[in-house]
A and B are shown apart, each in its own frame.
Chain A
Amino acid sequence: MTAFEQVYETTIVVLYRYAFGFLGNRSDAEDAVSESCLHVFRRYGNRTDAAELKALLFAATRNAAIDRLRRKHPLPLLHDCAAREEDPETQDMRELLSRLPSDERELISLKYMSELSFREIGELTGINEHTVQSRIYAILDKMRLLYVKNDKGDRLQ
């Protein structure tokens, strides 16, 4: 198994989670991930540095996602279409995420969907690591307020 294949196997899921969280729908997320994986493979598939390949995959996916956002596709609610039955808790969180601006949605996705470190997020987005950290905490506060404010029982209304 080549280095790229190994990175692919370990990264594809987190890559997809990031794209889905950022873009808000399965179709665009899959397209973005497909495009970025194949591009990175085609361009850098012979490289062996796993960290570098992972960074390239995230960067390419981010660019592909930004492409799609800039084409002004309406962002649907983050319901996972009809592909799967999801519990109310998951549906609420997807909707809550969809209410965030795209830049905030991206940071949350990178941190909690893909579990990147603050440093990795900073390198990817070009934002200072400490700024990333403070922004994410601020976004979490905002999400808490949104959730509580709309909380009727356990559901986000």
Chain B
Amino acid sequence: MRIEERLTHLKDATYPSQELVDSLRAAITQHEHKRQPRRFGWMAAIGATVAVAVAVTAIMPQLFRGGKTLLAANLTISDAAPVFSGKPGEELQLVGQKKNGQLLVLTNDGICTVDQGASVLLVPLAKLQGTSSGTIGQIQYDPDDDRYVYAQDGDIVLYDAVAQTRTVLAKAGKDHQYADPTFAIVSLPSPVLGGAGVPNGSVLATILVHSASSWVPRAMLRIGCDDAVDTANTPAVIQDGKDVLVIGAAALRDGTDFTDALPQAAEQGSDPTVTSDGALLISAGASGFSVVNLVSAGTDVRETTIGQSGDSHPGISPDSRFLAYLRNGSELHITDFDLVKGTDLVVSRDCCDFLWDATASTGSSKYVFYEVLKPVDGQDQWSIVRKQSEGSFDEDAGYLFERYFQALLSGRTVYAQSLWTAGAKDASTAMPEMNLVAYRIAGYVHPFELFKGKPDDAIVQIDLTFVSPDMLQQKQLFVDYRTAMEHGKRIIVSSSAISETSATYTVNDKAIQNSEGGTTHDLVQLSSLEAQRQSIAGMAVDMVESSIAVAVKSGNDVKIIIAPTARTPKSLMALLLPTPQIVATLQDATLRNISITEAWDLLVAYTDNAHPTVLHIDRYTLKEKGFPCAETTDMPLSAFPYYWYGTHKMLLGMTNPDEPSGTRQIYSFSTTVSSLAWVSQQ
């Protein structure tokens, strides 16, 4: 039988259930004569998983551009049915969600599962408290086991709900505390840090790292105390998850006790790196750098000092064989650890006018990558405020990918320069004086993956998004990247090129005028954004492959802009916006977060005075209305200043103004647009 005939046979054997056909037919028929004007919302007709349907007073006409803005103060909840309501005045804390979908909430009684108004106590508060009376901080739930970790009086505590044991993982000291523990997987080469500084500035962070067998709690201490410089030190984590090394403290923690890993404390500001096999650690400071051999972490530590004064930018090859570094800022040296010390290969020494930066080497240690940087626009003096550079080779070490961002301080303006060293040192692209808010490298997950299986197709497409006070600019760069170095010999320079297309969109030339007619540039202050997303303080951005969402403060309002990217599929574009548009203007709002999904569902969390609100803009509305958001689900948000979106449920903690003062409630919504809520107009 031919394959086409087999497919026809398969087709004939595939048909929807009669239940589906009938239920949809009924939904269509029933609603055919009840259709509301679309500007006023829609009824969620499916969604058996919908836990709650909320009717929210809609103010749709105010959503449209041209002076029509969304006023959160106008919102009230009616006909709300919370999943769970706390006692008046009770603070609820959302701990997590179990695999079966049950919500875990910390109440005054302890950790409970809540469902449809009922709760079951799992862990009494006394068990969590132990003998301490200290306040329990934010609790994190182990996604793989019934365990909880939290901070209490500066200690980090792990509670095992199965064994019913309470263990202090990290004890606060005289000059330090722990805070914000979490469950996380730490990966190299970029250490992933959990936690944040606490108000007294004395501590620092705790993370739990993942081992091959199970979630193993390990506390990581970032030493710094009151020294702001020290807090910038980067801890390094050995990949097997067993050990955590902190350079600033010269301490290694393996389970319980700290032991010295370095004979002397590393210099402040050093940036330690551990090789992927955990064998070598390198710490670079102003007076050189040192390489530490971690043959037996915690017990048998041997130090090998390589660098001398004037040496900098050390990088170890992934197989721990080679070390590349700069001497006197101009000579690129490579050391082979297998050879006698002193036989360094000097790769280049004739570029003293430039700053060299060795940033990557190949997995086979065949190549080392370096780049030449030069002052912008011929300036002799230039101040680097922030510089990020990453380079990586493909698996065959044939292609090099590198990205580089540089910020130069000029008043409050950030210059952003992107540089791709594509064979020629001139292959840089200086960006105009704008605020770089986002960039996307098409298909980029990791350079290795980018090039995997594509040795003949090394064209990298890069989207950059900038926001200036009055425009949103997108620039797409197409980089044919074919350059690498083999011990100083430049190779693969053919067909290196950068071509670009760019487009500038005027966001709304009138909208940015304040009441006095002047241009307002103030930006809203936001929480920190994800590390992988480039942004500047005072602006929110979220991006997925197909779209970018930007929030900009303009006067007292927040403007929400959505822009497609070069990766937006045409079919998706047909339902969405062809160009960046202002999709909402939030009057007198303070932005808290912004999130967009691949499906262009946008969530904006903001507060309007005392009204924390989540604005939901769905993708279908965008196209239908041309640009403004007409469909929203606006929900007060107070108990939990965050939300999850994109998995199965969106969970929100709220204070219902119709309920007794201070009563916290938790609402659960399906993330699908069709089952989110019903918006009506009173």
| Contact partners of B575 in chain A: CB under 8 A | 59-60, 63
B492 contacts the other chain (CB 8 A): no
Contact indicator B620/A90 (Cβ below 8 Å): no
Residue of A with least CB distance to B20? A30
| Contact partners of B673 in chain A: CB under 8 A | 35, 39
Within 8 A of B (CB), among A93-130: 93-94, 97, 108, 112-113, 115, 124-126
Contact indicator B620/A89 (Cβ below 8 Å): no
Within 8 A of A (CB), among B11-59: 11, 13-17, 20-21, 23-25, 27-29, 31-32, 35, 38, 42-43, 45-46
| Contact partners of A144 in chain B: CB under 8 A | 3
Among candidates A9, A16, A62, residue contacting B20 with C-beta atoms closer than 8 Å: A16
Interface residue stretch chosen among B85-93, B517-525, B565-573 = B565-573
| Contact partners of A2 in chain B: CB under 8 A | 32
Residue of B with least CB distance to A146? B3
Contact indicator A17/B28 (Cβ below 8 Å): no
Inter-chain CA distance A12–B16, complex, in Å, is 8
| Contact partners of B647 in chain A: CB under 8 A | 71
B153 contacts the other chain (CB 8 A): no
B99 contacts the other chain (CB 8 A): no
B624 contacts the other chain (CB 8 A): yes
Among candidates A20, A21, A39, A94, residue contacting B620 with C-beta atoms closer than 8 Å: A39
Encode contact with B along A131-146: 1 for CB under 8 Å, 0 otherwise: 0000000001001100
| Contact partners of B17 in chain A: CB under 8 A | 26, 30, 83
Closest chain-B Cβ to A77's Cβ sits at a distance in Å of 13
| Contact partners of A35 in chain B: CB under 8 A | 46, 672-674
Within 8 A of A (CB), among B565-593: 569-575
| Contact partners of A150 in chain B: CB under 8 A | none
Which among B13, B21, B569 has the highest number of chain A CB atoms within 10 Å?
B13
Which among A62, A90, A94, A147 has the highest number of chain B CB atoms within 10 Å?
A90
Closest chain-B Cβ to A150's Cβ sits at a distance in Å of 13
| Contact partners of A97 in chain B: CB under 8 A | 10
Residue of A with least CB distance to B27? A38
Residue of A with least CB distance to B42? A42
Inter-chain CA distance A34–B234, complex, in Å, is 50
| Contact partners of B32 in chain A: CB under 8 A | 2, 5, 45
Chain B interface helix/strand/loop/mixed: helix
Contact indicator B28/A41 (Cβ below 8 Å): yes
A46 contacts the other chain (CB 8 A): yes
B6 contacts the other chain (CB 8 A): yes
Inter-chain CA distance A126–B180, complex, in Å, is 46
Contact indicator B15/A17 (Cβ below 8 Å): yes
Contact indicator A66/B598 (Cβ below 8 Å): yes
B8 contacts the other chain (CB 8 A): yes
B646 contacts the other chain (CB 8 A): yes
| Contact partners of B42 in chain A: CB under 8 A | 42
Among candidates A20, A45, A89, A113, residue contacting B6 with C-beta atoms closer than 8 Å: A89
| Contact partners of B619 in chain A: CB under 8 A | 63
Tell me whether A112 and B646 are in contact in the complex, defined as CB-CB below 8 angstroms, given that A16-B20, A35-B673 are known contacts.
no
Inter-chain CA distance A97–B13, complex, in Å, is 14
B599 contacts the other chain (CB 8 A): yes
| Contact partners of B15 in chain A: CB under 8 A | 13, 16-17
Inter-chain CA distance A144–B4, complex, in Å, is 10
Closest chain-B Cβ to A13's Cβ sits at a distance in Å of 6
Closest chain-B Cβ to A50's Cβ sits at a distance in Å of 15
Inter-chain CA distance A42–B570, complex, in Å, is 23
Contact indicator A66/B599 (Cβ below 8 Å): yes
Residue of B with least CB distance to A125? B571
| Contact partners of A42 in chain B: CB under 8 A | 35, 38, 42-43
| Contact partners of A67 in chain B: CB under 8 A | 597-599
| Contact partners of A31 in chain B: CB under 8 A | 672
Residue of A with least CB distance to B11? A113
Contact indicator A8/B9 (Cβ below 8 Å): no
B7 contacts the other chain (CB 8 A): yes
| Contact partners of B624 in chain A: CB under 8 A | 43
Among candidates B11, B24, B45, B570, residue contacting A112 with C-beta atoms closer than 8 Å: B11
Within 8 A of B (CB), among A54-106: 59-60, 62-63, 66-67, 70-71, 80, 83, 86-87, 89-90, 92-94, 97
Closest chain-B Cβ to A144's Cβ sits at a distance in Å of 5
Inter-chain CA distance A31–B4, complex, in Å, is 28
| Contact partners of A94 in chain B: CB under 8 A | 10
Chain A interface helix/strand/loop/mixed: helix
Contact indicator A71/B646 (Cβ below 8 Å): yes
Among candidates A17, A20, A70, A112, residue contacting B4 with C-beta atoms closer than 8 Å: A112
Closest chain-B Cβ to A65's Cβ sits at a distance in Å of 11
Closest chain-B Cβ to A82's Cβ sits at a distance in Å of 13
Residue of B with least CB distance to A141? B3
Inter-chain CA distance A66–B226, complex, in Å, is 49
Residue of B with least CB distance to A86? B13
Residue of B with least CB distance to A87? B13
Tell me whether A93 and B646 are in contact in the complex, defined as CB-CB below 8 angstroms, given that A2-B32, A4-B28, A41-B28 are known contacts.
no
Inter-chain CA distance A63–B597, complex, in Å, is 12
Contact indicator B24/A37 (Cβ below 8 Å): yes
Closest chain-A Cβ to B443's Cβ sits at a distance in Å of 14
Contact indicator B20/A8 (Cβ below 8 Å): no
Inter-chain CA distance A31–B648, complex, in Å, is 13
Contact indicator B20/A34 (Cβ below 8 Å): yes
Contact indicator B6/A12 (Cβ below 8 Å): no
Contact indicator B20/A59 (Cβ below 8 Å): no
| Contact partners of A124 in chain B: CB under 8 A | 571
Encode contact with B along A23-51: 1 for CB under 8 Å, 0 otherwise: 00010011101110111011101100000
Closest chain-B Cβ to A149's Cβ sits at a distance in Å of 13
Contact indicator A30/B16 (Cβ below 8 Å): yes
Contact indicator A8/B10 (Cβ below 8 Å): no
Which among B7, B575, B646, B673 has the highest number of chain A CB atoms within 10 Å?
B7
Closest chain-B Cβ to A99's Cβ sits at a distance in Å of 13
Contact indicator B571/A126 (Cβ below 8 Å): yes
Inter-chain CA distance A30–B19, complex, in Å, is 10
Closest chain-A Cβ to B544's Cβ sits at a distance in Å of 9
| Contact partners of B46 in chain A: CB under 8 A | 34-35, 38
Contact indicator A90/B27 (Cβ below 8 Å): no
Inter-chain CA distance A102–B575, complex, in Å, is 21
7 further A-B contacts with Cβ under 8 Å, apart from A30-B17, A34-B23, A147-B3, are: A17-B15, A38-B27, A39-B674, A42-B38, A43-B38, A43-B624, A94-B10
The interface of chain A, by Cβ under 8 A from chain B, is 2, 4-5, 8-9, 12-13, 16-17, 20-21, 26, 29-31, 33-35, 37-39, 41-43, 45-46, 59-60, 62-63, 66-67, 70-71, 80, 83, 86-87, 89-90, 92-94, 97, 108, 112-113, 115, 124-126, 140, 143-144, 147
Task: Show 19 A/B contacts (Cβ-Cβ < 8 Å), sorted by A.
Answer: A13-B16, A16-B16, A16-B20, A17-B14, A29-B16, A30-B16, A41-B27, A42-B35, A42-B42, A43-B38, A46-B35, A66-B572, A70-B598, A71-B647, A89-B9, A113-B7, A115-B11, A124-B571, A126-B569
Task: Please name the 8 residue pairs, one residue from A and one from B, whose CB atoms are nearest each other, closest first.
Answer: A126-B570, A16-B16, A112-B7, A93-B10, A90-B13, A67-B599, A17-B14, A34-B46
The interface of chain B, by Cβ under 8 A from chain A, is 3-4, 6-11, 13-17, 20-21, 23-25, 27-29, 31-32, 35, 38, 42-43, 45-46, 569-575, 597-599, 619-620, 624, 646-647, 672-674
